[in-house]
Structure formats: structure tokens, C-alpha cells
Homo-oligomer: A and B are copies of this chain.
Amino acid sequence: MSDDIISQGEAELAQDRQHGASELARRALELLAQSALQAPADDWPQLQQKLVGYAEALSQARPSMIPIHTLSHRWLQQISQINGSSLMRVRQQAAMEARQLVAESKVATAKVAEEMTRHLKPGMTLITHSFSSTLVEGLSRFRTEDAPHVIFTESRPLYEGYYLADKLSRWEIPATMITEAQLGLFVPQADIALVGADSIDADGALINKAGTLLLALTAHHYQVPLYVAAESYKESTSVKVTDLEEMSPEEIRPSGWPGVTIRNVYFDRTPRELLSMWLHEKGATALG
């Protein structure tokens, strides 16, 4: 039964295009909590062994998203310390620890959002690419009169920019939507470029939606600082992201032309030298 939870969860994570790495990491923790409660096992060592496998499977569902790996492995570490009197007790404690991590990760996101507001002044223009839930949480804290002007991309192929448009419109934050192709034209109008992160790789590179590298190179060319808003659990301390996920070409165009391959790689890698500042839950760290 718990195998079902995990294999359905794997599929769900693999197909999800709406949520970022933090949100999917929380979803993975919730699936692990359910498995801890329900997976058939004779004893705690046997259950732990299963949970290690589940955590690995969920991490592999989105190999470019370090947070799923980091938070599920942090949880495995924590539960390996548990010495319970009964299997039922141990199950409950393991589930509780997973949910505790979910709560902590939400606090971390809120702190990053709070840190972001310290760097955005009224009258500023901010440029971003793709949809970052951390950025959105930060922007939600502004009133119309104090908010920065936000320039953002539509974000092909699935137009995550539309979600951002929807929120900014409701919050009455002045905003401009452009195609990715226009980044070179609009970066010079910005005081700051700011993106979220799917992962921060072991070498300090930013793994984020494809197109982020173009924003970074353009920002560097025009000397516009590029800030990354990312909870510290997005940083990889061990594994390196070698697999930049590729999705179905049908997201770009339902059918192609004979002999023409359509590619749909979702993430790109921006080297640390192109990043100016990392906003995390403990403050801001200068990079570059």
C-alpha cells in the first residue's frame, strides 16, 4: 500500500509543472510521513530500510531539484536516531518529524521573503524570470505604493509568467510582461534582477528554469546585480546535479516536422561568478 503511495507520488512529482522545488520537497516529506505510518514492516530496521528506498525514489523523480533530496535525507538522518519502544510509536514519531521539517521549511521561505523585502525599495524596478514562490511571497508583503515595478517573462513553454501576472494584477503591483526574447531589451531598465532557485549546486552554480542563464549573462553585461532568493536547504552539500530534466516536446508544440527534433530541457546552470547576492533565511551572502 505504501509502495502505491510512493509510486503515485513519484508520478505526481515528475509531472508537476506548477510548483517549485520547495513546494515539491514538502510534498515529498508528506508522502514519506504517510509511508512511515502505513508501510508494512515487521520492525523498525525493516521500515527504515523501506523509507530509505522511498526517499531515493522521490528524489529521483525530480533530479534537478536538490531540496527534495536534501529534506528527505535530513529526515532519514533524524529518524535514524529514533529508539522507540514500539513500532507504532516509532511510526508516529517519524511522521511527526517529517511534518516538523515541512513547517520549518515554510518558516525558512517566509524568512527569505522577509529578507527580500529589505533589498527592494519603492521606485525600484525588478526583473525576474519564471515563477518563484519565494519571490511571490516576498512581493505579497508590499502595498501598491511601496512595491517595486516588476518586469517578468511569460516563461515558455507553459507560461508560468501568467500565474505571476495574475497575482501582481490582484495585488495592484505595477508590472510588465515580456517574452524571454526581450530580456536583452528590458534588463537595462532594471535596478535589480532577482530569481528563485530550484537548486544551488555543489559548485555554487544556480540551477533554475531554462532562461535564467540568459538573464544572468545580460544582467552581467549591463552591470545589473543578480540576486538569488533561496532557502539554505536548496544548497547541495553532497550530490551534484548532473541531470538537467527534460520534459515532453509536446509542451512546446503538439506535433513536429519529420527530421526536426524538438527539445525541452527545463533547467539551466548559471555559474556562481554571475550571481551577486544570495538571500537566505539567515540574511544575505555576497557571491560572485
List the interface of chain A (C-beta within 8 A of B): 129, 153-157, 165-166, 168-169, 172-186, 209-214, 217-218, 221, 244, 252-253, 256-265, 268
Closest to A154 in B: B252
In contact, B261 and A214 (Cβ under 8 angstroms): no
In contact, B175 and A263 (Cβ under 8 angstroms): no
In contact, A165 and B257 (Cβ under 8 angstroms): yes
Cβ–Cβ < 8 Å partners of A244 in chain B: 185
Closest to A159 in B: B253
A259, A261, A265: most-surrounded residue (chain B CB, <10 A): A259
From B154, B165, B265, contact of A185 by CB (8 A): B265
Cβ–Cβ < 8 Å partners of A264 in chain B: 179, 182
In contact, B186 and A213 (Cβ under 8 angstroms): no
CA distance A41 to B259 in the complex (A): 56
Copies of the protein in its oligomer: 2
In contact, B218 and A179 (Cβ under 8 angstroms): no
Closest to A244 in B: B185
CA distance A174 to B261 in the complex (A): 8
In contact, B257 and A169 (Cβ under 8 angstroms): yes
A129, A153, A173, A253: most-surrounded residue (chain B CB, <10 A): A253
In contact, B165 and A181 (Cβ under 8 angstroms): no
A155, A179, A213, A258: most-surrounded residue (chain B CB, <10 A): A179
